[in-house]
Structure 1
């Protein structure tokens, strides 16, 4: 089990409570699909389904048959109420060729280093004329935390990619991009400690590059407040890309 998977498994019970921006991303992706005329999601595979934030929205907003939910974090899947669930690495999907008409994923793909490899897996399990839709956190997410971490040595931020990286890989692998939209969000917290606590409880954290101490932590709080505090609130920036793609036979 990877360190990342272990983090998510540890925080599985708390995820839905603290995953504010992930809920927004999931809701927006659902609305994008509805606006595109999508009504029937037969034969759906959800990548990185977790405890079911996006899964439940799919079931509420669309006609569907089975939704196959896959995730690497076992404790997350235990909380997902869909019956068809498989614990697996999404880069090694255990399904036959042309198994699904729709592939969906929200707030997951930013964790994948080799997007080209993931698209090959999706292409393999997708039926002729299948569609896929993603919400993906992009470069610029946690801008404030990244800046202060580099100054103080406390914390570590996932290196996220720009939207152009995903668009180029879609085109390279023969996908047609039917829709793309990038949106920036800012959430405000009562304090830096409140922000760090919220972030920790989502499990979306990565190991620090070096051992840190209380002094590093205090410096992080001090500089975060001095550089970014607005009306006694602490901002955290997020940048999300929404992609709907298809592939003709």
Structure 2
């Protein structure tokens, strides 16, 4: 799976900034959850092209900002921003214990293979008193696409975990003073073709390993999507986000 994530997001690196409008909003809302002030070292896990960095710098100052991502082409989009770029796996952080003053991540941890293990392990690198803010896409995201794919056999959608799944993980991490939140977003597109193109340009097709591109299934997919999910504003796509934020005691 991680090989496919590297491939899909690597291909989407140049188009991601323009296509990932919901992810940009989520990064903005995640940054607002971080207390303003000055920090030593900040670690951004799954930083992508740097949405969260761009928002955080409006709220905080830091001596060093470390952007970590599995996909090197995404990281290279951040060149010239004065951040330290680290190509590595967020589920196996290459840092010493208690080496960061803030830990942040936006729109990345839903791709983890074993979040129940790797999310708690992430907090070993955060100092006592360190702040954190995490945003994760959850089930209900792209539910229209999942519905039509199931009906027509065209495409596939990553099975995302529930808000309660992530809330349980964070609630059971020792020494965390944590709060939770969630939000939903809707996007509208002029056509199904436009929606699928934008979706592909975000790299989020990484889960579609058994996708069928048959013309007949595609036509039926478009027809079903149009019939079920076109409104006055266009073709609808929904997103659901979970937030965890607080302090390590």
Give the alignment's TM-score, normalised by structure 1. 0.93
Distance 2:120 2:211 in 1: 35
Long gaps (5+) in structure 2: none
What is the correspondence of 1:150-169 to structure 2 with a 5 Å cutoff? Answer: 150-169=150-169
Question: Which of 70, 76, 79 is the matching residue for 1:78?
Answer: 76
> 2:120–2:169: 8 Å Cα contact kept in structure 1?
no
The aligned length equals: 245
Q: How far 1:134 sits from its partner (Å)? A: 0.8
Long gaps (5+) in structure 1: none
What is the correspondence of 1:150-189 to structure 2 with a 5 Å cutoff? Answer: 150-189=150-189
Distance 1:208 1:119 in 2: 25
Distance 1:199 1:247 in 2: 36
SS state at 1:221 partner: helix
Name the structure 1 match of 2:25: 24
Structure 2 CA distance for partners of 1:208 and 1:227, relative to 1, 3 Å = farther
Distance 1:63 1:188 in 2: 36
What is the correspondence of 1:194-213 to structure 2 with a 5 Å cutoff? Answer: 194-205=194-205, 206-213=207-214
Distance 2:229 2:69 in 1: 35
> 2:156–2:211: 8 Å Cα contact kept in structure 1?
no
Q: Which runs of 4+ in 1 moved over 6 A?
A: none
SS state at 2:231 partner: coil
Distance 1:197 1:212 in 2: 14
Question: Which of 41, 58, 61 is the matching residue for 1:60?
Answer: 58
Give the alignment's TM-score, normalised by structure 2. 0.93
SS state at 2:135 partner: strand
Please identify which structure carries the higher strand content.
Answer: 2
What is the correspondence of 1:94-109 to structure 2 with a 5 Å cutoff? Answer: 94-109=94-109
Structure 2 CA distance for partners of 1:196 and 1:175, relative to 1, 3 Å = farther
Q: How far 1:58 sits from its partner (Å)? A: 1.5
Higher mean C-alpha deviation, range 147-156 or range 124-133: 124-133
- Cα deviation digits, residues 17-69 of structure 1 (max 9, x gap): 01100000011112232xxx432232110001111111121223211110111
Distance 2:22 2:145 in 1: 16
- Cα deviation digits, residues 162-219 of structure 1 (max 9, x gap): 1111111112222535321111111110011111011000111122435431111111
Distance 2:175 2:113 in 1: 19
Distance 1:232 1:196 in 2: 17
Name the structure 2 match of 1:227: 228
